Amino acid sequence: MGLVYFYLLVLCEMNRFLTAFLILFTTVVLGQLKKTAEIKGQVNAYVSNLEGVFVINLKSEQTVFTNETGDFAIKASVGDTLVFSGLQFKRKEVVLCAEDFQANILNVHLVTMVHELNEVIIRNYNSINAVSLGIIPSNHKTYTPAERKYATASSARLNPMGLDPVLNLISGRSAMLKKEIAIEKKEVAIGLLEKMFTETHFTNTLNIPLDFVKGFKYYVVDNQKFTKVLEMKNKTTIEFLLGELAEKYKAIIACENE
C-alpha cells in the first residue's frame, strides 16, 4: 500500500507540473500572437483642419493626437480598441484586427457634429458709444483729422508752455492747416452727396454734361445754404436746391463756351 501511495503522489505532482507548463506555454503563445507594434493611421472628415483629434488605446491608455492632415501613430496589439474623439467630431471606436497591421495606413472616417441653435437674437447697440460708456464727457468737443491738426498747431491750451502756436502763426502753417479744414469739409460734403445720388441723377435728371459733373459737385458744396441743408439730410429740399443750382451752373457753362 505504501508503494501505491508513492506512485499516486508522483502522478499527482506530474499533473501539477504539466498543468503549470501548459498555462505558461499558452501565455507565451498568446503573448506572441498579441505582440505590440506601432500602427500608423489617418483620420479624414469633411473639414480642412484635422489637428488635435484624440486617439486613445483603451487597453494601454496611451493617447496621441493627430496633426493638421489627420496623421497619427500609436502602439497597439491585435484586439485593442482605439477611440477617436474631438470637439467637432462624433466619438468612434475601432477594434484592431491583424489586417489593420498589415495595411500601410489605417484609414478612419469621422463624422462632424452639427450644433443647432434654438434661436438667434440680434440686438442693435447703436446707442453704445464712448459717451454712453462714460469714457468721454457728453460735452466733449470732437475733431476731424484736419481740425485736430489745426487745433494742435494753433492752440495754446493744447500746447502748454510751448512756442508751437506762435511759430506756426509766424510761419503760416496755421493758415495752411485752416485751409485744409475747408478742403476736408468739401470732401465730406461731396462724399455725402455721392451717397445720396448716383451719377445718372446728375447727367439724366439734372442734365449736367458728364465732363462737368465733378465740377458741379464742387460748385454746390461751395454754396453755404446748400451745405447746411445737406447736413440736415432732407433729400426733398436737397433735390430742389440741386435743381436750382444746376440751372445756374449750366448757364455758367454756356457763357464759357460762347
User: Does residue 214 sit within a domain?
Assistant: yes
Among 251, 209, 243, smallest CA distance to 226 is for 243
In this structure, how many other beta carbons lie within 10 angstroms of the beta carbon of residue 206?
19
For the chain, how far is it from start to end, CA to CA, in angstroms?
A: 153
Last residue of a domain, one of 72, 94, 109: 109
- Give residue 32's pLDDT: 47
User: Domain tally for the chain?
Assistant: 2
Range of the domain at 83: 38-109
- Give residue 161's pLDDT: 46
Q: Scanning the structure block, which residue is given the C-alpha cell 433729400?
A: 235
The CATH number of residue 45's host domain is 2.60.40.1120
Last residue of a domain, one of 64, 88, 109: 109
Q: What is the mean pLDDT of the chain?
A: 76
Number of helices (H), then strands (E), in the chain: 9, 7
With H, G, I as helix, E, B as strand and everything else as coil, classify residue 55.
strand
User: Does residue 13 sit within a domain?
Assistant: no
User: Does residue 219 sit within a domain?
Assistant: yes
pLDDT higher than 80, residue 202: yes
Write the pLDDT tens digit of every residue in 42-94. 999 888 888 989 999 999 889 999 999 999 999 999 999 999 998 888 899 99
Q: Scanning the structure block, which residue is given the C-alpha cell 444746376?
A: 246
User: Does residue 165 sit within a domain?
Assistant: no
What is the widest separation between alpha-carbon atoms in the chain? 153
Write the pLDDT tens digit of every residue in 210-238. 888 888 888 888 888 888 888 887 888 88
Distance (Å, whole) CA 169 – CA 158: 15
Split at pLDDT 50, 70, 90, the class of 40 is very high
Split at pLDDT 50, 70, 90, the class of 252 is confident
Phi, psi of 178 (to 5 degrees): -65, -35
Q: Which of 47-61, 105-119, 122-136, 224-238 has the highest mean pLDDT?
A: 47-61
User: Does residue 230 sit within a domain?
Assistant: yes
Last residue of a domain, one of 54, 83, 109: 109
- Give residue 147's pLDDT: 57
**Percentage of the chain exceeding pLDDT 70:** 61
User: Does residue 85 sit within a domain?
Assistant: yes
For the entire predicted model, the pTM comes to: 0.38
- Give residue 65's pLDDT: 93
Lowest mean pLDDT of 18-32, 125-139, 185-199, 214-228, name the range: 18-32
